[in-house]
Structures are given as C-alpha cells and as structure tokens.
Amino acid sequence: MPTTVGTENNAADLVKNLLVLEYDAIAAYDATIERLDSAEYRKQVESFRRDHETHVQELGQIADSIGVEKPTEGDMKQWLTTGKVALANIAGDDAVLKAMKTNEDETVSAYEQALSNSVTDPRLRPVIEKGLADERRHRAWMETAQA
C-alpha cells in the first residue's frame, strides 16, 4: 500500500507525519537488530538506525520552530513495519533485510513526495533532501547485502 506521507496540505502536518514515520522506522530497526545473526549486518543496520535518530532530531527542531506538537512515537504502522521483520526472522538474515528493504521503499517514497510537495518550505527542504539521500543509501545497501 503506497504511503501518503509527504502529500500533506500544510507544513505542520508534513513535519508531524515525517516524525511519526521516523519513529516507525526506528522501531523496525530495533526489531531488525535484535533478529540479525550476522555481526556485520547488525553493525551496518545500527548505523542506519542512528541516521533515523538524527532525522528525528532535525525534524524536531523544525517542528519547534513552526510550533508543531511533536509526536514521541510511531503509530499503528509500526506494527506493520516490525511485523514484517518478525515474520521474516523465520527465514534468516537475508529475509529480514528483504523485509526492511520494503520498509525503506516506503520511507524513500515518503521523502520523495515531501520533496516535491509545494508546502515544503526552505527550512525543511535541506532536512528532507538529507533524509532522502540517507534512505536511498540504506535501501541500496539492503539490496546488495541480500543478493
């Protein structure tokens, strides 16, 4: 199901929904880290998780500057992002990374939509550009790691 994050009609909702998306991603990364057998994979995934924490900090600063009440956790989608990883655990590390790659597909899509959204103001644009670059890098690694 395609994400609607990034298509909001105002900057406040955009920032709020990107924050929720990031919290969902962090939960999925936590689920992934605890299930990976490969120490090399875990180390890389932990670095990606830190990128998401940075996204939360940067988006949080923008939320503060425009008066948005910041969410402090994900939403119901978190069950989907972590559930895919939990189910994939049965099949091993490659399946777990494949499940995470589908989560990254959604996050990349959200950031692409946010970047082209007319409500994205100049303060938000560099944060979205950096987030998109990080998400594309995460997804590319997951595609090659499981090959």
Total number of domains constituting the chain: 1
pLDDT in tens, 8-66: 999 999 999 999 999 988 988 888 888 888 999 999 999 999 999 999 999 999 999 99
Nearest residue to 82 (alpha-carbon basis) of 124, 11, 32, 116: 32
In a domain, 8, yes or no: no
Q: Is residue 58 part of a domain?
A: yes
Question: What span, in angstroms and rounded, lies between the C-alpha atoms of 102 and 60?
Answer: 25
Residue spans of alpha helices (H) in 73-124: 77-88, 93-116
Looking up residue 108, the CATH number of its domain turns out to be 1.20.1260.10
Residue 81 pLDDT exceeds 70: no
Q: Across the chain, what does the average pLDDT equal? A: 84
Residue 109: inside a domain: yes
pLDDT tens, residue by residue, 120-145: 989 999 999 999 999 999 999 988 88
Tens digits of residue pLDDT in 87-112: 444 445 667 677 778 888 999 999 99
Q: What is the residue range of 94's domain?
A: 25-145
Is residue 44 in some structural domain?
Answer: yes
Contacts for 94 with CB less than 8 Å, ≥ 6 apart: 146
Cα torsion 13, 6, 146, 46: sign: negative
